[in-house]
């Protein structure tokens, strides 16, 4: 369908399988106030069609947070993305005035597109999140909440801003004005992971990527998440979390910190049963980028050992399995397990499981250490 | 603005009533509809008189009977959860039940949990949850479509060997693509030094040989495509290309998208794969352009590939996408069942690479006015403008 003011074809950047937008506004309203100077209208060309949505400059002037439902449609990357910060007019902005990010980091799952129809459609793209980056300064950056989920679930003052093409699903055209829900303070409900839903608030189709701001104790507005779905009187929000903090942090060139966590409680390994040695990791603000293992065990027959590592969320990775290796003792230094665990939340209790599977001997766990790197 | 959710107090009341009902059912257990197995009580376990066995053997048997008792209790609970799920149509409630079960299991001894899980899986009982399969941060799941998928997901963390054994059985009977996906993941987790890699490839191929599963394209099947990224590169590319071709030919957009994601992630890891690559007719022109946009002409062996590709581009759509996208600075991140994502490239490193690529293509030439020459000029101008801006010019 066509935008009636510029004859520009537009499709809505919505989570709900591209609802058809209304061509004609049935209700006229007074022009709203500009709500936030860091928020802007986003446009992108995918498979020859232009889409629109919203985005916000946050954390740093070189980053824009949004979502990107259709930026990788059928395996084809979008081109020609344009950001028009604090655009606030009835007509579309002139494309030549838009700022083009260098690229984007698109957080999505393989199965996102499978949920665009049916009962689950309002939760389609629940993990969808994008950080656009660029060389130029996109404008003043909003500060961010490290744990957006905690912020949106609180009773703090909030607002959702952006560029809905249809106001609150009423049929009233939003044109290209920036809109806000106004302040509200009730909390969202956590549905799954970083995906939350607000009852009794909505902005309208076309506002995907619209920022969700939450005020802190000093009254400062900070970005807590982006709008990823919506319906009449319901808003789905993907909140900022460890993953978004990591993606944006690495984009800015932040360096990991590396720390070692050990368990030095020497103990005898039972014949046949696993012994669990806990290693508690803490203090990281990003997902794991590197994990190395050190392990010492005293044994007359290392081939009798079964050893595996379990992450705080339950993923296992074998270190050693029973074998014909009859040499004594085990000394592992710097075994690289990054490929198995990178992207994991490193904080929590890791467990090393060991057993003397052959029995009959005296096998001791001496010590182990996990060397963890993350933001 | 209107007030908070009106159903909060009703939900709380409902949860309390449900909890009380479950408690009554548990107390009255053994009088159900035949789905629950016969109860085992410690008194039924075989314990010989102490004078007939050594003290340690007696203690071992008492230990087994304790495990049997706790396992029976958990098994009963699993069947109760199955019954509750079967009569529930609220996904949030399902998620709550399973999250609570998951937390409780973590405080139980692994032997009891493993035994109960195995017995439940062998019973054939299952229940839908109204949830979609959703991958968590390190390949474990955050949401499970059925109770059996939940158990298959959690079993390796309490008993890896049992997890593998039961996963192999699940993959043999092939009753559910979501179960198969998690079983395949458990197989990958059991691999120590690549010894199971060949089996992983075979099992992945078998999964996609099921036309009905492919047509359905459940979340589990789509997430399983990530296994291609774990394979040796040539094998992974082959698998992902076949699936993409399947998606293209059947106009299965979710399948195509997932397969192209895997391909993009493989090629991003090693753009040199494009040097000897011949996708043939598997890909649509724009898809080919998206993948080729990963090529790095600052690497000597890839420069002629870039040049030949641009020179040979006859399809206008492909040329348009490639000239606007190259060099591709986008990255896919996310939670994966099998593979890890590459770390995000920093803005500075991206700029440095753009400088190297611009240097590499600066002296390339095509026939004046040819589509390749026009495209190359567009690429150069875009790179130059971006680099100047980043230099503050």
Q: Is the confidence at residue A303, as pLDDT, over 80?
A: yes
Q: What is the pLDDT of residue B10?
A: 56
A108 reaches B (C-beta below 8 A): yes
Helices (H), B107-159: 110-123, 147-158
Q: What is the pLDDT of residue B378?
A: 95
Contact A79 B138 (CB under 8 A): no
Mutate which: B128, B154, B237, B330, vs A, most A CBs within 10 A: B330
Mutate which: A50, A66, A110, vs B, most B CBs within 10 A: A110
B261 reaches A (C-beta below 8 A): yes
pTM of the model: 0.86
Residues of chain B with Cβ-Cβ distance to A44 below 8 Å are none
* Pick from B244, B264, B329: CB nearest A102: B329
Per mean pLDDT, which range of A84-88, B56-60, B195-199, B386-390 is the poorest?
A: B56-60
B111-147 pLDDT, tens digit each: 999 999 999 999 999 999 999 999 998 899 999 999 9
User: CB–CB of A16/A232 below 8 Å?
Assistant: no
Per mean pLDDT, which range of A83-97, A119-133, A254-268, B215-229 is the poorest?
A: A119-133
Between residues B194 and A297, which one has the greater pLDDT? A297
What distance in Å separates the CA atoms of residue B256 and residue B286, rounded to the nearest whole number? Answer: 13
A176-200 pLDDT, tens digit each: 999 999 999 999 998 888 999 999 9
Q: Which residues of B288-314 are buried (b: 16+ CB within 10 A; e: fewer)?
A: bbbbbbbbbbbbeebbebbbebbeebe
The DSSP annotation for A337-375 comes to -HHHHTTS---EEEEEEEEESS-SS--EEEEEEEEEEE-
What distance in Å separates the CA atoms of residue A166 and residue A216, rounded to the nearest whole number? Answer: 30
**HSE-up of residue A95 (Cα within 13 Å, Cβ side):** 10
C-alpha distances out from residue B353 to A234, B266, B299, Å: 43, 19, 11
Q: Is the confidence at residue B14, as pLDDT, over 80?
A: no
What three-state secondary structure class fits A228? strand
B196-245 pLDDT, tens digit each: 999 999 999 999 999 999 999 999 999 999 999 999 888 899 999 999 99
Contact B132 A115 (CB under 8 A): yes
Q: A-contacting residues of B 14-43, CB under 8 Å?
A: none
Between residues B68 and B331, which one has the greater pLDDT? B331
- Greatest C-alpha distance within chain B: 100
Q: What is the pLDDT of residue A11?
A: 37
What three-state secondary structure class fits B128? strand
B240-273 pLDDT, tens digit each: 999 999 999 999 999 999 999 999 999 999 999 9
pLDDT band at B13 (very low <50, low <70, confident <90, very high): low
Tokens of B68: 């049997």
A105 reaches B (C-beta below 8 A): yes
Q: What ipTM does this complex have?
A: 0.88
A60 reaches B (C-beta below 8 A): no
Q: What is the pLDDT of residue B51?
A: 40
State the average pLDDT over residues B303-322. Answer: 93
Q: Is the confidence at residue B44, as pLDDT, over 50?
A: no
Contact B1 A274 (CB under 8 A): no
Per mean pLDDT, which range of A211-215, A260-264, B23-27 is the poorest?
A: B23-27
């Amino acid at each position: 369908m066509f935008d009636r003011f510029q004859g520009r074809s537009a499709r809505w950047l919505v989570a709900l399988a591209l609802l058809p937008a209304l061509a004609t506004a049935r209700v006229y309203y007074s022009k709203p106030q500009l709500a936030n100077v860091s928020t802007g209208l986003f446009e992108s060309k995918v498979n020859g069609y232009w889409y629109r949505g919203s985005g916000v400059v946050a954390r740093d002037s070189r980053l824009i947070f949004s979502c990107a439902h259709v930026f990788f449609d059928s395996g084809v990357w979008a081109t020609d993305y344009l950001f028009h910060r604090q655009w606030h007019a009835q007509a579309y902005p002139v494309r030549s005035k838009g700022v083009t990010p260098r690229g984007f980091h698109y957080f999505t799952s393989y199965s996102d597109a499978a949920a665009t129809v049916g009962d689950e459609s309002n939760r389609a793209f629940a993990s969808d999140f994008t950080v656009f980056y660029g060389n130029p300064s996109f404008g003043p950056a909003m500060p961010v909440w490290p744990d957006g989920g905690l912020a949106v679930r609180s009773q703090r003052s909030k607002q959702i801003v952006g560029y809905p093409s249809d106001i609150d699903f009423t049929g009233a055209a939003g044109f290209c004005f920036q809109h806000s829900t106004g302040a509200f303070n009730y909390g969202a409900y956590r549905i799954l992971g970083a995906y939350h839903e607000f009852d009794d608030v909505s902005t309208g189709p076309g506002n995907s990527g619209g920022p969700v701001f939450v005020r802190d104790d000093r009254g400062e507005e900070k970005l807590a998440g982006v709008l990823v779905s919506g319906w009449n009187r319901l808003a789905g929000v993907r909140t900022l979390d460890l993953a978004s903090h990591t993606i944006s942090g690495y984009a800015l060139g932040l360096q990991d910190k590396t720390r070692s966590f050990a368990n030095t409680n020497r103990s005898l390994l039972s014949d046949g049963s696993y012994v669990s040695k806990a290693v508690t990791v803490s203090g990281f603000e990003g997902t794991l980028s590197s994990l190395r293992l050190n392990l010492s065990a005293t044994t007359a027959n290392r081939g009798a050992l079964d050893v595996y590592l379990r992450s705080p969320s339950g993923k296992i990775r074998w270190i050693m399995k029973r074998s014909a290796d009859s040499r004594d003792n085990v000394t592992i230094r710097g075994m690289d397990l990054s490929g198995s665990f990178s992207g994991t939340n490193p904080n929590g209790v890791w467990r090393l499981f060991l057993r003397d599977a052959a029995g009959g001997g005296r096998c001791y766990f001496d010590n182990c250490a996990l060397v963890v790197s993350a933001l | 603005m209107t007030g908070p959710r009106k159903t909060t107090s009703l939900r709380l009341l409902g949860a309390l009533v449900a909890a009380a009902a479950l408690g009554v059912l548990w107390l009255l257990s053994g009088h159900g509809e035949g789905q629950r197995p016969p109860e085992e009580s410690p008194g039924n376990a075989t314990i010989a008189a102490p004078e007939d066995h050594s003290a340690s053997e007696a203690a071992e048997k008492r230990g087994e009977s304790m495990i049997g008792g706790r396992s029976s209790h958990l098994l009963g609970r699993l069947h109760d959860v199955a019954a509750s799920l079967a009569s529930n149509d609220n996904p949030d409630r399902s998620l709550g039940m399973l999250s609570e079960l998951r937390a409780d299991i973590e405080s139980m001894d692994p032997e009891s949990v493993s035994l109960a899980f195995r017995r439940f899986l062998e019973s054939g009982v299952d229940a839908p949850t109204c949830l979609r399969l959703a991958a968590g941060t390190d390949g474990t799941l955050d949401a499970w479509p059925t109770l059996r998928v939940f158990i298959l997901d959690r079993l390796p963390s309490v008993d890896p060997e049992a997890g593998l054994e039961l996963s192999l059985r699940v993959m043999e009977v092939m009753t559910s693509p979501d179960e198969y996906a998690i079983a395949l993941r458990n197989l990958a987790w059991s691999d120590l030094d690549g010894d199971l890699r060949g089996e992983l490839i075979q099992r992945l191929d078998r999964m996609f040989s099921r036309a009905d599963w492919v047509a359905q394209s459940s979340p589990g099947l789509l997430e399983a495509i990530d296994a291609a990224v774990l394979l040796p590169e040539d094998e992974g590319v082959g698998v992902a290309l076949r699936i993409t071709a399947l998606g293209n030919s059947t106009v299965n957009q979710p399948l195509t998208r997932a397969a192209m994601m895997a391909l993009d992630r493989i090629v991003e890891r090693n753009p040199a794969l494009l040097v000897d690559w011949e996708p043939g007719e598997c890909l649509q022109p724009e898809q080919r352009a998206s993948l080729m946009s990963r090529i790095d002409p600052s690497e000597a062996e890839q420069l002629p590939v870039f040049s030949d590709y641009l020179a040979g581009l006859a399809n206008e759509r492909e040329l348009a996408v490639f000239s606007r996208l190259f060099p591709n600075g986008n990255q896919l991140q996310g939670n994966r069942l099998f593979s890890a994502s590459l770390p995000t490239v920093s803005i500075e490193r991206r700029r440095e690479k753009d400088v190297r690529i611009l240097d590499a293509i600066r002296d390339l030439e095509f026939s004046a006015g040819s589509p390749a020459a026009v495209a190359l000029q567009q690429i150069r101008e875009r790179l130059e403008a971006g680099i100047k801006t980043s230099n503050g010019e």
